[in-house]
Amino acid sequence: MPAIRPCVLTLVVLLACRASAGEGVERVGAGGYLTTCPAKAKEPQAVIYKTENIKGPVPTSDWWSSLTWVQYSEPQYAHPLVLRAEAGGLRVFHPNAIATTKIGIFAAMGGGKNDFVLGHSAQLKFPDARLHDFSDWFLTTAFAADGKSMKFTYGHGSPFVYAIYEGGNPTLTFDAQPSVWSGNAQSAVLGISVNTKAYALFGPAGCSWSGLDSKTITCDMKGKTHFSVALLPDKSQAALDLFTRHAYAHVTGSKVEWSFDEKTSVLKTQYTFTTQPHEGTETATLFALYPHQWMRSKDALTEYVYPSVRGQLKLMRGSGFSTQMTFPGVLPALPDKGSYDKAVLRKLVEAGSAKENNLKDTYWGGKRLGYLASLIPIAEQVEASAARDQLYGEMKERLEKWFTPVDAAGAPKKQGCFYLNKNWGTLIGYPASYGSDVELSDHHFHYGYFIRAAAEIARHDPQWAADENWGGMVRLLIRDIANPERNSPDLPFLRNFDPYAGHSWASGKGVFFDGNNQESSSEAMGAWAGIILFGQAVGDKKLRDLGIFLFTTEMEAINQYWFDVENRHRAAGYGASVVTMVWGAKGVNETWFTKNPEAVHAINWLPIHGGSLYLGHYPEYTRRNYDALVAENQGEKWDEWADQVFMYRALHDPADAIRQYNLNPEGFPLEGGNSRANAYLWIHNLNALGQVDREVAADYPLYAVFKKNGTRTYVVYNMDAAARDVRFTDGTTFNAPPRSFAVHSAPAK
């Protein structure tokens, strides 16, 4: 990473938030976006805390995002370390314990005032901290004042903090006086303990130390500039020796790469570190893997582990590692295989097809698009052509209006449009909601509905989705939330998705003591399913494989951290069946908006659609989660989102879901983005198909496999214009006609 320059804080003054006819519009195919903010609309703060070294768009919605939004930062949960920028430097600490209660898993942080601060011997305080460099899961934070500077590089999984000093030496100010158990004032390396934790301090060769019997230790680097510290997995000479071997190979970059093998439906992901040796020739580093990584990696681990709120982190040495995960397929909808009265379903479709004309904001307008996208295939299956045309027409009209930046007179719109904020490098839709404008939060939640709706249009009309028509704007939405290209001049790499943590973050700022967070993991999955379907519909395998990488990786993270489907990662004290919100510092069984048990559970199910079958991969967990919901609700009287409860229940026991549905078929409360027709079709189809079978995969990505009474049912939706043979990993093969479902049943092999 480039050396720090003591530069002034980058303050970008935005263009005035107004646009006149013919100005401030950028065309993209048949649509476009605004380049100046609509009048009276809100947008993010102009100040970005970064150095002049940052030339392109700044990532948001990351585990370290608070660094760029506030003067210093809130705690940044790298795992196993926690880092916080303060006036005196970088605070480095680790939880004293992982505490569990009936509603949460918490990292005990001691109020955030331990273990020590890495400061500068010649500068007691700095005016701010700034982002100086970043890669896929590492970053460099810079402090500079009056010709004196220090920069710190750290990242996900790394037990190290690497430092470069100019104009002075490292000082470590401890919360409590540390004990030195290895080394002395003339040693390059010290082993110390503080607050029950063991650390190692690595000075350059020939350095000396002062203050070893106090709360402040200073390393005299004798004119050299490199320094590092590490959290040790235990207080032992063996651990110290291992870390000493790798401490001088400073990590300078991190990179994730993915590839999808169509024949086996296996996603392979490669994680690579680049390093710069400051002493010696060792280039390998040490890094800890999260459970979703070490469970899906064949690379050798060391014997060392760290506790964390995600479960056990396992230490590895080298320059990288790879994981292999099976992509379980997605469908645009379920096929019509249920045993039910089609006249009833047709009536439900027709009742749900009335056009809505109100614009709504990007979230609720998006949910309307998701509603339409789920209902259109059902209308087709029951041959309700008038309802289908009404639904399809509304969805197409809505998307085209959002993608058109000017009104009928050719003047830039004030709402129902998108604006590209070049300062932060982000696309903002207006009307905005839930902080999607000023905080850049929830973009993947909102835009995911747009993308899935666009994929449904592309399923019928690929030409509509061509770049020169409306596809260019769809791709721009995709790039806003999950740009696969690094170094783009307008939008950052994988904005919402954290490739090392394996899941998305919702807050654009992350300005919380507990770090960033994500509540509705299922809405993130809806976005990734939409990318897969859109990519397949337009014949763009690179785009499709981006969606497969996001979908498959986040699915693994959800199974381990939100659901813990196999009871492997949580201490016994956590009594809930689900973590509703994952934070950097905790996992809790609560929502932002209600304590109602239906919503606490279903916020990680909705919206249920053809890409939601992963929720049924572990039927025993699905049963356990449902039983917990019944207990928390004190029975099966559902006063909110009953449709989601029935649809989730059907993944384990569809007959019981039908029983509950039939108790009050016209009066149960619906989630705002769903229809009674979708709930009705889903539960009856699963009653015929059986439970989801995760053991069998296909060589075509739009597939699903079910199992019931010893019979497997294989489902394919062929999005292509020509028929194709689809082969499954158990040897089953059959022909799928173009642009339609193919369903085949046979005794399980």
DSSP state of 615: G
Nearest Cα to 653, choosing from 619, 625, 680, 677?
A: 619
Torsion of CA 686, 689, 692, 695, to 10 degrees: 180
Cβ proximity of 341 and 689 under 8 Å: no
Cis bond leading into 213, ω under 30°? Answer: no
State the DSSP string of 90-127: EEEE--SEEEE-SSEEEEE-GGG--SEEEEETTBS--S
Amino acid identity, residue 145? A
- Catalytic site residue from 133, 336, 442, 671: 442
Task: Report the first-to-last Cα separation within the chain, whole angstroms.
Answer: 54
Identity of the residue numbered 336: D
CA dist 581 to 25, 39, 43, 106, 501, Å? 38, 35, 26, 12, 15
* β-pair partners for 569: none
Question: Around Cβ 14, how many Cβ atoms within 10 Å?
Answer: 15
Q: Helices (H), strands (E): how many in the chain?
A: 15, 38
> Among the options 523, 598, 643, 653, which is catalytic?
523
* Total length of the chain: 749
Q: From CA 585, how far away is CA 588, in angstroms rounded? A: 10
- Whether 254 contacts 1, CB under 8 Å: no
Which residue in 62, 336, 519, 554 is the catalytic one?
519
Q: Could you say which DSSP state residue 4 is in?
A: P
d(CA 702, CA 531): 12
Contact by Cβ (8 Å): 372, 676: no
Neighbours of 182 (CB within 10 A): 18
Assess whether 442 carries a catalytic annotation. Answer: yes
Separation CA 144–CA 120 (nearest Å): 10
Catalytic residue at 556?
no
Catalytic positions are: 442, 519, 523
